[in-house]
Structure 1
Amino acid sequence: MNIIGYARVSTRDQDPQYQEHALTAAGASKVFTDHGDSSRIRDRPRWVACLDYMRDGDTLLVHRLDRVSGEWHLFQLISELAERGINIRSLTEPEVDTTTPMGKAFYGIVAVFAQLRIDTIRENTMAGLAHARSQGRVGGRPTVMTPERLQAAVLLHQQGKNKTQIGKALGVSRMAVARALERSGT
């Protein structure tokens, strides 16, 4: 049963030494550190190495949970670690310590509220989109295929040009041409 530390700083200008020293002082036998990588990137080089290194019974020690993952993936990550038999402990968030019964209970409660937040955001987003559609508004980026370009695309298509050739002639992507021709029924 090892204590494995993980440290991360978001930019190359930052110094992770304070995290590394705190993790080592708290008992980490090995510390993996990523420099200049966002927590939203799941495949950070040293994070991947840390995950590969840890075994059943180990404890992942972090300075703060946001060093490991953004909030959207954090609870999934903790669940994945738990499935592998790996605990997680935060130095600055004492309630996050899955090595204790209270820490496991706290994690369960927080996970329920995090899922509620995700579901509520999704529900509100879907309701907003439905309302916008009922008002005749469609989201997304405006099409590059103006009526003039569409007319030219249809004419070029009738002349036997393929979608790539049409896109080059009109200065748009092949996919824009394909979608426009499909919508027009050509």
Structure 2
Amino acid sequence: MSSIVGYARVSTREQNPAAQEADLRAAGATRVFVDHGESSRITERQAWLACLDYLRAGDTLVIRALDRIAGTEQIAIELIRDLGRQGIRLRSLTEPFLDVDTSTPMGEAIVGIMAVLAQLRVATIRENTRRGLAHARAEGRVGGRPSVMTVERTAAAVRMRRDGKSVAHIARVLGVGASSVSRALVKAEGPAATPG
């Protein structure tokens, strides 16, 4: 008897997969496998391997999106071919074109196109980020979060360091991380400012 099997994945251990699991169960999944803190570029994920072992011919694998199971176009295409050869249907909740019989040439072609589009989206995001950072640098700005080490904190850190205080002590007094203090001291006074 065929069954609907769900697979969910979150990239970090801090993320909660509950919403993914709920969506998969609402789609009829009677069993859901979940990986925590795993990249979709890694094929040896514990829950993913257990899911593949559990699936049988005639089953349907339900995912929220293709990026939950495959982080690259190559991984996606290889995976879809493997599922098709085993007679397993693939269904994505957010990509309607992936609700196809992956064991047929048309199903494999559609999923291959979707994988290419997903990879293109990732590449576009990366390129836009790279351009944005280059533009910020050209205007004298640095991308990323602003440092917790304000001008005032840096000046205080420099004074305390000259008074012989340790980086750990300075960090506690300023209420920031030691690595932030170290970076600020190196920027202000050079590498010799931080040993000890």
Q: 1:114 to 1:71 in 2, by over 3 A?
A: farther
- Shift of residue 78, structure 1, vs aligned partner: 3.5
1:10-21 to structure 2, matched below 5 A, reads 10=19, 16=25, 19-20=28-29
- Shift of residue 49, structure 1, vs aligned partner: 4.2
Q: CA RMSD in A?
A: 4.0
SS state at 2:90 partner? strand
Name 1:96's counterpart in structure 2: 100
| TM superposition score normalised by structure 2 | 0.63
Structure 1 alignment gaps of length 5 or more:
21-30
- Shift of residue 140, structure 1, vs aligned partner: 2.1
CA distance in 2 between counterparts of 1:131 and 1:156 reads 36
- Shift of residue 77, structure 1, vs aligned partner: 6.1
| TM superposition score normalised by structure 1 | 0.65
Q: After superposition, what is the alpha-carbon deviation per residue over 1:91-119, rounded to whole angstroms, capped at 9, x for unaligned?
A: 86565332111111122222222222222
SS state at 2:64 partner? helix
- Shift of residue 178, structure 1, vs aligned partner: 0.7
Name 1:175's counterpart in structure 2: 179
Amino acid at match of 1:89: L
Q: State the identity as a percent.
A: 35
Structure 2 alignment gaps of length 5 or more:
9-17, 40-44
Q: Find 2:83's aligned residue among 82, 86, 89.
A: 86
Aligned length: 167
Name 2:156's counterpart in structure 1: 152
SS state at 2:153 partner? helix
Contact 1:4 1:54 in 2 (8 A): no
Amino acid at match of 2:25: P
Q: 1:62 to 1:4 in 2, by over 3 A?
A: same
